[in-house]
Amino acid sequence: MKKKSSLLPLLIWCGMTIITLLPIWWLFVVSMRTRVQLFGRPSMLLNGFYWGNYIEVLENEEFRFYMWNSIIVATSNCLLVTILALLATFALSRYKLAAEDSLFFWLITNRMAPAAVFLLPLFLIYTQWFNLFDTRIGLILLYGVFNLPFAIWLMKGIMDGIPKELDEAAMIDGASTFQVLTKVIIPLAKPGLAVTAILTWMFAWNEYLFAATLTSVEARTITTGLAEFVSVTGTNWGELAALSMLTLAPALVFLGFVQRHIVAGLTFGAVKE
Amino acid sequence: MRSPVTGWLFLAPTITVLAIFGFLPFLYVAFVGFFDWNPFAANPGLVFAGVNNYRRLVFDDLFLRSIGLTLQFTFWVVLSELVIGYLLAQLFMRDFPLKGLFRTIHTLPLLVAPIAVGASWKLLTTPGLGPIPYYLERWFGIDYRMGAFENQAFITTVVMDIWHWTPLVTLTLLAGLSAMPKEPIESAQVDGANRWQIFWHITLPMLKPVLLTTIFIRLMDALRTVDEVWMLTGGGPGTATRYIGLHIWRVVFPQTDYGYGAAMSLLTLYLTIMLCWFLYVALVARKPRGS
Amino acid sequence: MNRRGLLSAAALAVLMSTTSFNAFADDAFWAKAAEPYKGVTIRGVSESTSSSNYAKDVLAKEFSEKTGIKIQFETTSWDQMYDKAIKDMEAGSGIYDFVYIEQDIIYSYLSRDFLVDITQSLKDNPSIASPTFKPEQFTTFADYFKGPNGDLYGVPMEAFLKTYLYRTDLFEDAAIKEQFKAKYGWDLAPAKDHKQYREIAEFFTQYGKDNDLELWGTTVQASSGHPASFYEFVETIAPTFGVYNWGLNTDTWAATVENGGTMNSDKAKAALNWWVGNLQYAPPESTSSTWDEVSATFSAGRAAQAFVYGENTAWIATDDTRSTVVGKVGVALPPVEPGVMEEIEAGKGYIGYYDGGAFGVPHSSKNKEAALLFLQYIGQDSVQADWAVNAARVTHQATYDDPRVQEQDQKTSGYYTLMRDQGKLFAGAPAFPFHGQLREAIAPYFYDAITGKLTPDQALDQAAVRAEEELTRLGYRKQN
């Protein structure tokens, strides 16, 4: 009985893997082809190892710089959002605050508007009021607007699931609020924090529209670099594909770190332990 | 001791960030929506227009079409992802070799930047460049040309989104399923209930909060889709995949119709909130059956 | 022998010393003029094309070395470049010190007075006026960037023609020529009118099928969701049928025939029907093809004829790392309807698109002088030839005579000769301050014509009505 039931899932997953990997595999194949080889009867197989596209991209110091910017922006935003979300959900969970539900709802609505809506006012704010145009800090703060609601939503359930009695026990022992946070809450919230961290990081790493509009040369991120390949003199698909593959790499590394916690952390607090 | 002041203090940074970078732009957009403003019109300044922009929107064919398309897209995408995600999550509940590996592979699409997702699917589906048109023709005799056939383009965007976001649904539902207590199911099985009855009366109600959350997240994001579709079809053929996120972008930027675009944005935001609220009431208002 | 050798050596020495003296003198000008601005950083935005990339990678670096002025040169996609430049100038935020001005948007920019008058600024500020920057050396393309007072508002940095390309190897193949003559009754040669073009397209598509080749008769830039298709129709196809300026009446801004426009005239309908009809003889990717893909299609050998933007002609004909049809490319004037050529030569119309762009300085720039220095630097005659060879663009008359350019000319079957001699038949985009806005409003009808949702006739009728609506709303069109 056991053996039979494990064959079907295996088969299904093999099929799923092929479907899942198809676009990524194709990106890889394209990245290994010269421009001349791109058109014509498409072959799914690698017909040679042409590293030229990767070399072009890696040797280009601009792209290395964009990659670096992306790393800084994504990681900083991830830290900022995780910490802020932790504090915010702690407050929402442990303190009786007026208009709590409305506040929560307003937080979520920030994530509902189509991106194009905010591009113009943000451009004006970034250039006229605060000198944030083409700065990394500008992007880091902006991504907070999209990531904070998501993070708070994720963390709220986790936070609610940590019994208040533990807090109280610690405070009776003389712990300050700060110590309650660090010694009691954080260790128990680890899976939630891990998931929040990675999803936040992913979003910041992959974001395109705002990065393209609000940066120019100094704070350019790697996703905007992708768009540069599309030009009148022919889209350089090979290099675009190579860059896409390279963009995937750090994300994979990060995923490796927080893999184990993902499933536990993703309940959005909808499931009570 | 637990004074609200400390609580507000903890919330302050979050509220500050959101107020400056989220609320302020929103006020600006709300304001501009009452004006006619196009830097390349004969009068390039702000001309007060009252609710005229909103009135125009109600009769704007292109806008209405875009909304309709977006709703259809969202419906198909969310439904498919839920069904597929649920089935895959159930599969993950079982034991089989290399389960961990498969789960990691399954998560991969989530990691790819949306714009790269659009690019990879464009590469896959462009005749002459990609394998899909070629093999569809060869094996099934289908003339697959997204640039010429509206249905094909629509279906491709749906498939692309399913490919991209199902893993999120799978993982979230898996989290919910894992945390579910096993006893109710086991006792139901002992009582002789079949698979469907167990699913409908036990699993579903217990899973409801998780399901709801997933639906909302996917709903909000699907309604806002831009990067991937823009890269894949540019909104084409014609306007067949010009979903509302893309349409607003076109009106505000290439067409520089700031006033009209602002009104459109606000109306879209309003519709999105209404939709979410409506869903929430419809799905949550019913009391859970069974126990 | 010996004396001659001595003389030539002496001549060479004198030549070298004078050139290096000149170069030294030039450099001295740049260093001196830039002294007050040393250490300043200027920022510019442009499209990510080979011309701009050359300006960024080579010219900007040279300039920075000579002057100490740093340049942050942002190259990005076509859409983004416009968005950001317009937003910056509109808001007056002073982010960019120089911006790319595509030829079709100059009128919008001039109508909003976004740009600095370069001629006037150099007059007012002689210390930054370079002796090697001579506006009279530009080709007539520079006229597009002159304001109503004749002053220059942009320094041309690239210019090309969108030409008719064809495969010389196919057209000159004896067997093919025989087959063609047998079927159609005239000798195979680049098409002179639209009927001929069609017949050639039909022939080669059939030829491709019969011989199991990935070959079709023509390209069509028919991306059904991107303005590139709209542009091919209004810039390249319609004029050859005698429909100019998008079919608008430039006095009243009427578009429909009833009101005095030509957008839905019989000629326009003939043009759109012809163009959309070409799709059956074009490769399947045509309905997803913007300007990029068309050049890629032709360079991959998939079409016997094509309409391609000039900047691609050079690499298609010479670069074998990117093109499979090196040495097989012919250039010709596009086919026209009878009577159109006479109209054009009488000055009433044009045969196709004279594309290109310039760099200009926004009023909002905070480093105008430094930016003007850079613009003059790239406008010098001395940098043109290398730039031309690298990016197939010509903005100075003298560039045509440079030996390296002439060499490339041979390899591209005379693209530069065509541009020099027949360039006057081509024109840039019409003088519309509402260029982008109108395009966005009416392009969807053309997309529908491509997908077959509307017939070409219906598409033009509806587009013309919509055009008049939009122009009225924008405040340009006064009712008849």
To the nearest whole Å, the CA of C87 is away from the closest chain A CA by: 8
pLDDT in tens, A241-268: 888 888 888 888 877 776 666 655 565 5
Question: Residue C244: its pLDDT value, please?
Answer: 94
B278: contact with A, CB 8 A cutoff: no
B57: contact with A, CB 8 A cutoff: no
Give Cα B66 to chain centroid, integer Å: 15
Q: Centre a 10 Å sphere on the Cβ of residue A237 and count the other Cβ atoms it contains.
A: 25
- Which chains touch B (3+ CB pairs under 8 A)? A, C
Question: Does B253 sit within 8 Å of A119, measured CB to CB?
Answer: yes
Better-scored residue on pLDDT, C311 or C215: C215
How many structural domains comprise chain B? 1
Question: Residue C281: its pLDDT value, please?
Answer: 96
What's the whole-number mean pLDDT along residues C175-181? 94
| Type of residue numbered B104 | T
Pairing of strands C98-102, C41-47: parallel
Clarify whether residues C189 and C50 are in a common domain.
no
| Nearest residue in B to C437, CA atom | B255
pLDDT of residue A272 exceeding 50: no
Measured distance CA(B233)–CA(B226) in Å, rounded: 11
Q: Closest to C291 (Cβ–Cβ): which among A213, A228, A232?
A: A232
What's the whole-number mean pLDDT along residues C98-123? 93
pLDDT of residue C390 exceeding 90: no
Question: Does A115 sit within 8 Å of B224, measured CB to CB?
Answer: yes
Clarify whether residues C404 and C453 are in a common domain.
no
| Nearest residue in A to C215, CA atom | A40
Question: Does C214 sit within 8 Å of A40, measured CB to CB?
Answer: yes
pLDDT of residue A1 exceeding 70: no
Contacts of C473-478 with C-beta under 8 Å, sequence gap 24+, read C473/B41, C474/B38, C474/B40, C474/B41, C474/B42, C474/C434, C474/C437, C475/B41, C475/B42, C475/B43, C476/B41, C476/B42, C476/C253, C476/C433, C476/C434, C477/C252, C477/C253, C477/C254, C478/C252, C478/C253
Question: Residue C426: its pLDDT value, please?
Answer: 92
| Nearest residue in C to A213, CA atom | C84
Question: Residue C215: its pLDDT value, please?
Answer: 94
Question: Does A233 sit within 8 Å of C315, measured CB to CB?
Answer: yes
pLDDT of residue C7 exceeding 70: no
Clarify whether residues C111 and C195 are in a common domain.
no
Question: Does A39 sit within 8 Å of B129, measured CB to CB?
Answer: yes
How many structural domains comprise chain C? 2
pLDDT of residue C383 exceeding 50: yes
Using CB atoms and an 8 Å cut-off, which of residues 263-322 of chain C contact chain B? 283-289, 293, 297, 300, 302
B155 is a domain residue: yes
Clarify whether residues C263 and C384 are in a common domain.
no
Residue with tokens 């991937």: B228
Question: Does A233 sit within 8 Å of C50, measured CB to CB?
Answer: yes
Better-scored residue on pLDDT, C460 or A158: C460
Q: Closest to B116 (Cβ–Cβ): which among A112, A150, A226?
A: A226
Question: Residue B67: its pLDDT value, please?
Answer: 95
Do residues C85 and C93 lie in contact, with contact meaning Cβ atoms separated by under 8 Å?
Answer: no
| Nearest residue in A to C291, CA atom | A232
Q: Token digits for C46?
A: 């442009």
| Nearest of B20, B272, B225, B246 to residue A112 by alpha carbon | B272
Q: Is C43 helix (H, G, I), strand (E, B) or coil?
A: strand
Measured distance CA(C464)–CA(A62) in Å, rounded: 46
pLDDT in tens, C332-359: 999 999 999 999 988 889 999 998 999 9
Question: Residue C21: its pLDDT value, please?
Answer: 54
Domains, chain A, ranges and CATH?
A: 1-50 (no CATH), 60-261 (1.10.3720.10)
pTM for this entry: 0.86
The complex scores an ipTM of: 0.84
Of the pLDDT bands very low, low, confident and very high (cuts 50, 70, 90), residue C17 is low
What CATH number does residue C447 fall under? 3.40.190.10
Q: Token digits for A86?
A: 């932790």
Of the pLDDT bands very low, low, confident and very high (cuts 50, 70, 90), residue A203 is confident
Clarify whether residues C111 and C217 are in a common domain.
no
| Nearest of B56, A62, A80, A184 to residue C48 by alpha carbon | A62
A218: contact with C, CB 8 A cutoff: yes
Question: Does C87 sit within 8 Å of A36, measured CB to CB?
Answer: no
Per-residue pLDDT of chain B (291 residues; tens, 9 = 90+): 467 788 888 889 999 999 999 899 999 999 999 999 988 888 888 899 889 999 999 999 999 999 999 999 999 999 999 999 999 998 888 888 888 888 888 888 988 888 889 889 998 998 888 889 888 988 898 889 888 899 999 999 999 999 999 998 998 888 888 877 878 888 888 888 888 888 888 888 888 878 888 888 899 899 989 888 988 998 888 889 999 999 998 888 888 888 999 999 999 999 988 988 888 777 665 544 433
Of the pLDDT bands very low, low, confident and very high (cuts 50, 70, 90), residue C5 is low
Domain span at C30: 24-160+355-425
Clarify whether residues C387 and C265 are in a common domain.
no
Question: Residue A95: its pLDDT value, please?
Answer: 82
CA–CA distances in Å: residue C174 to residues A171, A260, C187: 96, 69, 11
Name the DSSP class of C190: S
B179: contact with A, CB 8 A cutoff: yes
pLDDT in tens, A4-37: 566 787 888 888 899 999 999 998 888 888 877 7
The average confidence (pLDDT) of chain A is 82
Q: Return the minimum-mean-pLDDT range out of A191-195, B18-22, C20-24, C367-371.
A: C20-24
Question: Does B175 sit within 8 Å of A209, measured CB to CB?
Answer: no
Burial class (CB in 10 A: 0-12, 13-18, 19+), A48: exposed
| Nearest residue in C to B146, CA atom | C288
Clarify whether residues C380 and C440 are in a common domain.
no
C19 is a domain residue: no
Better-scored residue on pLDDT, C267 or A183: C267
- In chain C, what's the furthest Cα-to-Cα distance? 84
Question: Could you please report the per-residue DSSP string of A74-111?
Answer: HHHHHHHHHHHHHHHHHHHHHS--TTHHHHHHHHHHTT
Clarify whether residues C336 and C269 are in a common domain.
yes
The average confidence (pLDDT) of chain C is 90
What CATH number does residue B89 fall under? 1.10.3720.10
pLDDT in tens, C249-296: 999 999 999 999 999 999 999 999 999 999 999 999 999 888 888 998
What's the whole-number mean pLDDT along residues C430-448? 93
Q: Output the CA torsion sign for A28, A33, A35, A41.
A: negative
B227 is a domain residue: yes
Of the pLDDT bands very low, low, confident and very high (cuts 50, 70, 90), residue A232 is low
CA–CA distances in Å: residue C51 to residues A220, B188, B280, C296, C359: 21, 73, 55, 18, 12
Question: Does A24 sit within 8 Å of B129, measured CB to CB?
Answer: no
How much of chain B is helix, strand and coil, in % rounded to 5? Answer: 75, 0, 25
